[in-house]
Structure 1
Amino acid sequence: DLEYRYLVTLEFSERVIDIREQFPLHPVASVQDIARRRGIRYPLYAGTTVPFVMTTDFVVTVRSDDGTVSEFARTVKYADELVPNNRLVRTLEKLELEKAFWVQRGVDWKLVTEASMSDVIASNLVWLRGGAEIARELQDDALQASFVGAIADAGTHDRTLSSLLRTVSYRLRRPYPDAVRLFRHLVWHKVLLVDLERPIKATSPAPRIQTASDGLLHCKRAA
């Protein structure tokens, strides 16, 4: 679950242009050499003498504001995997090998835990991610423009999100589930911008919406 939450967070970022998961640390010989120099036992496949192919959970390519492209590597673990126990020493040894591999290549490596991510933002993004792709009949530009307009007309004062979307579905003569799907889709693709630091649930207050000069609606969004 933690890896998926981190993946969805990366997918939503406009700076991320490529994501590679479980990236193998090749060549294995280079990691074995690091292990020998540091006095660390290199891992083997269980019951064999075959060297284990170590991986990094995420290798991500990002584009900065000035247009330059760079990579970073991230390993994801729950915090309770790092508490003192009889396996912690071995876990730290493997992390040391992984970090050294990336340092040699000039790639920024960091460890990510649940403490590194906002639970509210991650939960919101996981829910919105389900609307990244929608049925063909809901991809119609005119329908989506009408949906945006209907939200503007309905207003959000003292409404829950469910109340807002039910009003919109009534005005568009579309089933309520379609309104939910369109909302998730348009927020995920940043046509509608919402404050991700607030829970996005059916029973939560509807996000404050402003009408932009281009006719689209924009809600306050966390930076």
Structure 2
Amino acid sequence: MIREWNETTINRFLKEKRGQGIGKDYKPWLLVQDIASKGRSTRIFGHTTQRVHHMLSDLQLYYFYLLEFDDNVTDIREQYPLLDFHDMNVQVDEELTKKLFDSKTQVPHIFTVSFLVTRKRENGEHYYQARIIKQSQELEKNATLQRLELQRRYFEKKGIDFGIVTEKEINKQLARNIGWALNSYDIQDYPSLTLNLPHLKRDMVQYLTNKSDTFQGIFSRLEKEYSLDKGLGLILFKHLIAKKEVSMDLSKKIYMTNKIENYHVEFTGENGGDVGYAVGN
């Protein structure tokens, strides 16, 4: 964690405009370099926001992948601070009051949620969801529960849906597969793909109609037909999934030697149709 939480640290963060802005202009309150995380910390580019995101654990990363692949998500703000918490007059009892200030410096704590997510309804109206990502064992600690209760009361006053997501609510295989596909969202570094993209997509879709063939077989055939370097067939396939032009069952572990029919692979068109994976928690 941050070595010492004091007024100097808060003022520095505010001067750096942390926790402020939306979309590509948002800067998280906590950055990867600020935290000695128990899990793996990751910087990852988000296509929804067009900026680099800071994930402080694998569990946060998995949830981020699910958000990135959700068509109804329009903005993702991670490590989001409740900067106006002390101005909201959140009702607290004596026990909870102790959690509002640093025990050593008596500086007000700046509570953060893992994600503040902006979503759109069918009518185009936007709304927010606040989500805290925690390992379920952390919820056994009284201090953790007290902090979460303070945040719950804050968002209740704000009229924003608040929830806690643990490893039990996240389909890790689905998240990993989405991350695997999103890795090839941008193929600008592969001119042999971009220069022939319309033709490659047409043939890839045609090959995918042979449900008894394997992924490996289809990719090898495409690479041979177009004299592509080995591995580019797979990159193209992942790109089409990331762009929602091809859909498949991403909840299963993917083996390249398996037949296509095992994964319900379908072409969804240039705009991706209605294919998506909603994050309901």
TM-score, length-normalised on structure 2?
Answer: 0.67
Structure 1 residue 48, shift from structure 2 partner: 2.2
Please tell me whether residue 6 in structure 1 is matched to residue 59 in structure 2.
no
The aligned residue for residue 149 of structure 1 is 202
Structure 1 residue 43, shift from structure 2 partner: 4.7
The aligned residue for residue 39 of structure 1 is 95
The aligned residue for residue 135 of structure 1 is 188
Distance 1:95 1:211, change over 3 A: closer
CA distance in 2, matches of 1:47, 1:75: 26
Gap regions ≥5 residues in structure 1: none
Structure 1 residue 18, shift from structure 2 partner: 0.6
The aligned residue for residue 50 of structure 1 is 107
Please tell me whether residue 186 in structure 1 is matched to residue 262 in structure 2.
no
Structure 1 residue 217, shift from structure 2 partner: 9.6
Q: Percent of counterpart pairs with the same letter?
A: 24
Q: Which amino acid aligns with 2:114?
A: D
Q: How many residues align?
A: 215
The aligned residue for residue 172 of structure 2 is 119
Matches of residues 137-216 of structure 1 in structure 2 within 5 Å?
137=191, 140=194, 143-155=196-208, 156-206=210-260, 207-210=263-266
Moved more, 109-118 or 159-168: 159-168
Say if 2:73 and 2:118, in contact at 8 Å, map to a contact too. Answer: yes
Structure 1 residue 100, shift from structure 2 partner: 0.8
Say if 1:168 and 1:179, in contact at 8 Å, map to a contact too. Answer: yes
Say if 1:158 and 1:205, in contact at 8 Å, map to a contact too. Answer: yes
Structure 1 residue 208, shift from structure 2 partner: 4.2
CA distance in 2, matches of 1:221, 1:45: 43
Structure 1 residue 29, shift from structure 2 partner: 1.6
Please tell me whether residue 94 in structure 1 is matched to residue 147 in structure 2.
yes
Cα deviation 1:90-131 (Å, max 9, x = unaligned)? 010011011111111000001111221222211211211211
Cα deviation 1:136-190 (Å, max 9, x = unaligned)? 41562x6222222222343443333222212221122111222222111111011
Where 2:131 maps in the other structure, the secondary structure is strand
CA distance in 2, matches of 1:131, 1:168: 17
Please tell me whether residue 70 in structure 1 is matched to residue 127 in structure 2.
yes
Distance 1:217 1:14, change over 3 A: closer
Determine which structure has greater relative contact order: mean sequence separation of CA pairs < 8 Å that are 6+ residues apart, divided by chain length: 1
CA distance in 2, matches of 1:54, 1:211: 44
Structure 1 or 2: larger helix share?
1
Q: CA RMSD of the aligned region, Å? A: 2.8
TM-score, length-normalised on structure 1?
Answer: 0.83
